[in-house]
Structure 1
Amino acid sequence: MDIQSLYQQAIKFAAVKHVEKNQLVPGTNLPYVVHLSNVAMEILVAAHYSSTFNLAYAIQLALLHDTLEDTSTTFEEVSAAFGVEVAQGVLALTKNDALSKAEQMLDSLKRIKELPTEVWAVKLADRITNLQVPPSYWDDAKKSGYRQEAMIILHELNGGNAYLEKRLNEKIMDYKQYITA
């Protein structure tokens, strides 16, 4: 299947799932699909700068990366619609709610690192996209913690995608402007 068809199939699936929860981009009135398409855009550009990159795999992951974590979607549904490999990638990008908040990200990063670097790239792209203007209700401690998490992601996924690593590093530096203390 061509990239455009894969993109359409995945974004429609994800949009339906996120709309069921009336999910918005945090701190905005924008539908969550805007976040997903921004992550996919980062992946599309990164693919252009990456010599060996499975864009078909990565674009599906980008658009589906939050379906297991944020909606009622099951692993089986993703697997049936997009294949086991995509479902496993989405699962690795999903935080395990059975763990403490402090353990969730490191556990996810560990699982991501066991999979192809396209999964790494989606995690990098996700955090790049999330390092926009923070929601107005976030205090400096929340913003600082989020920035620190981004630095951990960058460190742990070093070697996954040079283009996205450079982008994330720039976003981390720029994000300091939102922290007043």
Structure 2
Amino acid sequence: MDIQSVYQETILFAAEKHTALQQTIPGTNLPYVIHLSNVAMEILTAAHFSPHFDTAFAVQVALLHDILEDTQTSAQELQSRFGEGVTAAVQALTKNDQLPKAQKMEDSLHRIQQQPKEVWAVKLADRITNLQRPPAHWSTEKKQAYLHEADSILQALAGANTYLENRLRKKMEEYQQYI
């Protein structure tokens, strides 16, 4: 299937699931699907600079990366629609709510490291996209912690995708203005 068809099929599924819950980008009135498409855009751009990169797989994972965490979609439904590989990738990107907050990211990064490099790239792209202007209600401490977490992600996923690693470094530098 061509990349355009993969993108359309996947974003429609994700948009239906997130819109059903009227999800928006935190701190805005924008529909959540914009975040998903921004992560996919980072992946599509990075693919041009990344040899041996499974773009279709990475785009699907980018568009679905929050679907298990933020919607009523089950892993079984995801697997029947998009297959075992995409489901395993999305599960790795999904934080384990059974763990204390302080351990969730470390656990997720460990599971991501067991996945193909395209999944690592999606995590980098997600954080790049999230390093926009933070919600107005965030404290300085929360902004600092979010930036520190971005650095932890960068360190844990070093070697995944040079293009996205450089983009994340740049976004982290730009984010300093909000602290």
The alignment's TM-score, normalised by the length of structure 2, stands at 0.99
Shift of 1:20: 1.5
Match of 1:152 in 2: 152
- What one-letter code is carried by the residue in structure 2 that aligns with 1:22? Q
Cα distance between partner residues in 2 of 1:78 and 1:161: 26
Q: Distance in 1 between matches of 2:95 and 2:8?
A: 25
Deviation at 1:21, TM superposition (A): 1.3
Q: Which runs of 5+ in 2 are unaligned?
A: none
- Identical counterparts, % of pairs: 61
Question: 5 Å matches for 1:8-157?
Answer: 8-157=8-157
Deviation at 1:115, TM superposition (A): 0.6
Between the aligned partners of 2:35 and 2:129, the Cα distance in structure 1 is 7
1:149 Cα deviation (Å)?
A: 0.4
Aligned residue-pair number: 179
- Name the TM-score, length of structure 1 as normaliser: 0.98
Alignment gaps of 5+ in structure 1? none
Q: 2:146 & 2:104 partners in 1: Cα distance?
A: 14
In 2, the alpha carbon distance for the partners of 1:173 and 1:77 equals 39
Q: Provide, for residues 123-180 of structure 1, a one-character-per-residue CA deviation record: whole Å limited to 9, x for no partner.
A: 000000000000011110110010000000000000000000000011111111000x
Cα-Cα RMSD? 0.5
Residue 13 of structure 1 aligns with an amino acid whose one-letter code is F
Whole-Å separation in 1 of the counterparts to 2:96 and 2:148: 20
Runs of 4+ in 1 over 2 A off after TM superposition: none
CA distance in 2 between counterparts of 1:121 and 1:115 reads 11
> Which residue of the partner structure matches residue 170 of structure 2?
170
What corresponds to 1:4 in structure 2?
Answer: 4
CA drift of 1:63 comes to 0.2
Amino acid at match of 1:101: K
Q: Which amino acid aligns with 1:110?
A: H
Report the Cα distance in structure 1 between the residues aligned to 2:99 and 2:78, rounded to whole angstroms.
23
Q: Deviations over 1:27-53 (max 9, x none)?
A: 111000000000000000000000110
User: Structure 2: which amino acid aligns with 1:64?
Assistant: L
The letter of the residue matching 2:81 is A
Equivalent position SS for 2:80: helix
Kindly provide the amino acid, as one letter, of the partner of residue 51 in structure 1: P
